[in-house]
Amino acid sequence: MIYEPSLHTAGIIVSAFLILIGLLGLLKPDFPSLVQRFPRSRVAGVILLTVCLLWTFWLVATIQMGEFSSFRRPLLIALPIGYVLVLRFVDEFLAVRALGILCLLAAEPLLDAAFLRYETSRLLITVFAYLLIVAGLFWVAIPYVLRDQINWRCLHALALIYGGVILTFTFRQY
């Protein structure tokens, strides 16, 4: 395992994130209009892509690659080159694409936290991790769908309820 998170910590982080998103979407009526500028924000894209680069660089530098360890050095060289090329040539929806990459990276620690746990409620974290993976794939490949998803008020309500359920199980079972 690359990460050593506990299921309790993962549950707190996921539930806090979901409850925050749910409350912002439901209680602030102008929240969708504020977030509408995010998909085309160059600054947000550069910040998120830099976080993704640092996280990926750390992963490639530290993970056990087994028989593929000879690829470590070329990957460590290719990552910053790819970062510069993406910043130079991918202007459209850079923030959404970088958010998608971040979702893909964030799913793995959640899956690690739930790995080999006996509680059935661990599946709440696992389902959220797989939802992050699906959302991340969509946002990287088809970034304009986030613009439509921002206005889904039912999604905010579901996030609030799901976050509350995860928080309940976090303090009762993990």
* 44-99 pLDDT, tens digit each: 999 999 999 999 999 999 998 889 999 999 999 999 999 999 999 998 899 999 99
Locate 81 and state its tokens.
């080159």
When the pLDDT of each residue in the chain is averaged and rounded to a whole number, the result is 91
pLDDT at 106 over 90: yes
117-135 confidence digits (pLDDT tens): 888 889 999 999 999 999 9
pLDDT at 20: 94
pLDDT at 151 over 70: yes
pLDDT at 3 over 80: no
Q: Round to whole Å and give the CA distance between 21 and 148.
A: 16
pLDDT at 1: 60
| HSE-CB of 17 using CA atoms within 13 angstroms | 12
What is the mean pLDDT of the segment spanning 32-48?
A: 89
Residues 160, 16 contacting (CB under 8 angstroms): no
In eight-state DSSP terms, residue 173 is T
Q: Round to whole Å and give the CA distance between 56 and 76.
A: 9
- 13 CA to centre of own chain: 12
Residues 3, 109 contacting (CB under 8 angstroms): yes
pLDDT at 153 over 80: no
Residue labelled with tokens 């936290």: 113
Q: Round to whole Å and give the CA distance between 17 and 25.
A: 12
Residue labelled with tokens 């998803």: 149
* pLDDT category of residue 110 using cuts at 50, 70 and 90: very high
CA angle, corner 164, sides to 16 and 104, nearest 5?
50
Element (H, E) at 85: helix 72-89
pLDDT at 135: 95
Q: What predicted TM-score, i.e. pTM, was given to this entire model?
A: 0.89
Q: Round to whole Å and give the CA distance between 113 and 10.
A: 7
